[in-house]
Amino acid sequence: MILEKKKIFNDFAASKGLRSTRQRDIILDIFLSTRQHVSVEELYLKIKASNPGIGHATVYRTLKLFSEAGLAREILLHDGQTRYEHAVAGEHHDHLVCTGCNSIIEFEDETIEKLQKDIAARHGFLIKNHKLEIYGLCAACRQ
Amino acid sequence: MILEKKKIFNDFAASKGLRSTRQRDIILDIFLSTRQHVSVEELYLKIKASNPGIGHATVYRTLKLFSEAGLAREILLHDGQTRYEHAVAGEHHDHLVCTGCNSIIEFEDETIEKLQKDIAARHGFLIKNHKLEIYGLCAACRQ
DNA sequence: TATGCTTTTGACATTCATTTTCAGTTAGTT
DNA sequence: AACTAACTGAAAATGAATGTCAAAAGCATA
């Protein structure tokens, strides 16, 4: 699983003429070890703990690359920070975002995905990706 | 339609003890006259054209109020600017966002809305609002 | 209409995430 | 080992959004 993702990134890097660097390896390792939806800052701090040398800009730059490589996906919630979630080719999940405790529940729904394709087709639109976020209160916060 | 929206805002203002000001009237007028999805900056420039006195901060503050009043809804695309769309109570539409020309096509789909409710119910989640954005290329940009 | 109290405003400063710059370092090739 | 282009880190720059605060304006009351 992790090896497979590393391969995906290496293939992407090769196809783009990018070099393999210590920093990118480390950032990928740590990114893969996090749970979903890390903000860049969270990831940066985690990286700095074991690798104080790695700079802010490198983390930003590298996450963008992961995104292009299809390993990560940018998500914007409403807290002013860009977050990244793990992406798996051909798979997609959406989010129930609790505005009470900021927890995120993931779900998948094939019917919704299919309906989206229908709508896109009706408009002659070519889908690259999509995001569906449902905001509200989770079971715990409703009480 | 426009009068109705002004009434909604006036009622909201009254209920919150807010004052009626020239600036808020102007900003509401111009906001209502724009097409969907204005960024704060776009709106600010449009306002400044006819009302040079109105400041940046006031536009930000006022759009937040419209949002609370249910007249506007914040949307975050991927260009680093907060945009506001017109909101109508009880109505909702989603977006096809073209990454080629930045155009936005709106659509509504009741079945998707219903499926979302089912999913939320399954997780004991109380929906406040949601957003669905599909990114890709519009018919014109596919060529 | 004048008075007084409170909200609102606009200019400016500030914050904070993200991007750019650039000189020094490093990967990968010959 | 030498060369070249990509990469990195630190610091500066950018840009959206928010906070500050004195002056202005709304609105209730006399």
CATH number at residue A131: 3.30.1490.190
C1' (C4) to CA (B19) span, angstroms: 17
Q: Which domain holds residue B35?
A: 2-86
Q: Do B17 and B72 belong together in one domain?
A: yes
Residue ending a domain, among A86, A109, A132, is A86
Residue written as token pair 């080629």: B100
Q: Residue B130: which pLDDT band, with cuts at 50, 70 and 90? A: confident
ipTM at complex level: 0.80
Whether residue B120 sits in one domain with residue B70: no
- A81 shares its domain with A102: no
Q: Quick check: B130 contacting A, CB < 8 Å?
A: yes
**Which among B69, B86, B103 is the end of a domain?**
B86
> Of the candidates B125, B130, B137, which has its C-beta nearest A139's C-beta?
B125
Same-domain status, A129 and A105? yes
Give the CATH number of the domain where residue B15 resides.
1.10.10.10
Query: Using the beta-carbon criterion (under 8 Å), do B76 and A74 form an inter-chain contact?
Result: no
Q: Is the CB of A21 under 7 A from strand D?
A: yes
pLDDT at B10 over 80: yes
Are A110 and A138 in a shared domain?
yes
Q: What is the DSSP string of A83-120?
A: EEEE--TT---EEEEETTT--EEEE--HHHHHHHHHHH
Q: What is the pLDDT of residue B18?
A: 96
Chain C: positions less than 7 Å from a protein CB are 7-12, 16-21, 26-28
pLDDT attached to residue B97: 84
At residue B102, does pLDDT exceed 80? Answer: no
Contact between chains at B126 and A134 (C-beta distance less than 8 A): no
The reply to whether A69 and A122 lie within a common domain is no
Residue B93 has pLDDT above 80, yes or no: yes
Residues A122 and A78 in one domain: no
pLDDT recorded at residue A130? 87
Q: Which of A112, A128, A134 sits opposite B136 (nearest CB)?
A: A128
For residues A10 and A63, membership in a common domain is answered with yes
Map residue A127 onto helix, strand or coil: strand
Across B36-61, average pLDDT: 95
Are residue B67 and residue B118 in the same domain, yes or no?
Answer: no
Convert the pLDDT of each residue in A90-141 to its tens digit.
778 888 988 777 788 889 999 999 999 999 999 999 998 888 989 889 999 9
Q: Are residues B40 and B56 in the same domain?
A: yes
Look at B137 and A126 and tell me if their CB atoms are within 8 Å: yes
Does A129 sit within 8 Å of B136, measured CB to CB? yes
Q: Give the confidence band of B81 by pLDDT, cuts at 50, 70, 90.
A: very high
- ∠ CA A107-B90-A117, rounded to 5°: 45
Domain count, chain B: 2
